[in-house]
Structure 1
Amino acid sequence: MEHTSKYITPDIKLSCYEDKLFKSDIIFDHHMLIWFISGETKIVQAEESHRFKTGDIFLIPRNQPATIINFPKDGMPHKTVVMLLSAKTLRDFYANIKITTSITPIPKICSFNSHPLLESCLSSLIPYFEMEELPEHIAALKITEAISILRAIDPGIDGILANFEEPGKVDLARFMEKNYMFNMTMEKFGYLTGRSITTFKRDFKKTYNTTPQKWLTQRRLELAHYMISEKRKKPTEVIFEVGFENLSHFSFIFKKQFGYAPTQLPERNLNKN
Structure 2
Amino acid sequence: MKFNNIHSCHLGPEISPEQFVPEHFFLFLLKGSMVGYDGHRHYQMQEGDYCILRKNHLVRYTKYKNGEQFEKIIITLDAVFLKKFLERHPMEPNGKVVDGAFLSLPEDKLIRNFIQSLEPYYHGGEQIDEIFADVKREELLLILLKINADLASVFFNFGTPEKIDLEEFMNRNFRFNISLERFAFLTGRSLSSFKRDFQTIFRLTPGQWLTKKRLDEAYFLISDQARKPVEIYLDLGFEDLSHFSFAFKKQFGLSPGSFVKQTS
TM range (shorter): 0.7 to 0.9
Question: Which secondary structure does the structure 2 equivalent of 1:237 belong to?
Answer: helix
Question: Which secondary structure does the structure 1 equivalent of 2:150 belong to?
Answer: coil
- Structure 2 residues not aligned, in runs of 5+: 1-6
Q: Distance in 2 between matches of 1:106 and 1:166?
A: 16
> What amino acid is aligned across from residue 144 of structure 1 in structure 2?
E
- Label 1:123 to 1:158 Cα distance change in 2 as closer, same or farther (>3 A): same
Contact persistence 1:25–1:67 (CA under 8 A): yes
Residue in 2 that maps onto 1:39? 32
- Structure 1 residues not aligned, in runs of 5+: 16-21
Work out whether 1:229 is the aligned partner of 2:251: no
Residue in 2 that maps onto 1:149? 143
Residue in 2 that maps onto 1:74? 66
**TM-score, length-normalised on structure 2?**
0.83
Q: Distance in 1 between matches of 2:36 and 2:159?
A: 24
What is the RMSD of the two structures over their aligned residues, measured on CA atoms?
2.9
- Determine which of 231, 235, 251 is the counterpart of 1:241: 235
Residue in 2 that maps onto 1:258? 252
**TM-score, length-normalised on structure 1?**
0.81
Residue in 1 that maps onto 2:210? 216
Q: Distance in 1 between matches of 2:109 and 2:227?
A: 37
Contact persistence 2:9–2:128 (CA under 8 A): no
Please show how residues 54-133 of structure 1 align to structure 2 within 5 Å.
54-71=47-64, 73-95=65-87, 96-99=89-92, 101-104=94-97, 106-112=99-105, 115-130=108-123
TM superposition shift of 1:256:
2.2
Residue in 2 that maps onto 1:52? 45
Please show how residues 197-212 of structure 1 align to structure 2 within 5 Å.
197-212=191-206
Amino-acid identity (%) = 30
Deviating more after overlay: 208-217 vs 256-265:
256-265
Query: How many residue pairs align between the two structures?
Result: 256
- Spell out, residue by residue over 1:10-29, the C-alpha distance to the aligned partner (whole angstroms, 9 max, x if none): x347x6xxxxxx96321111
Residue in 1 that maps onto 2:4? none
Work out whether 1:159 is the aligned partner of 2:168: no
Contact persistence 1:23–1:69 (CA under 8 A): no
- Label 1:232 to 1:131 Cα distance change in 2 as closer, same or farther (>3 A): closer
TM superposition shift of 1:266:
4.8
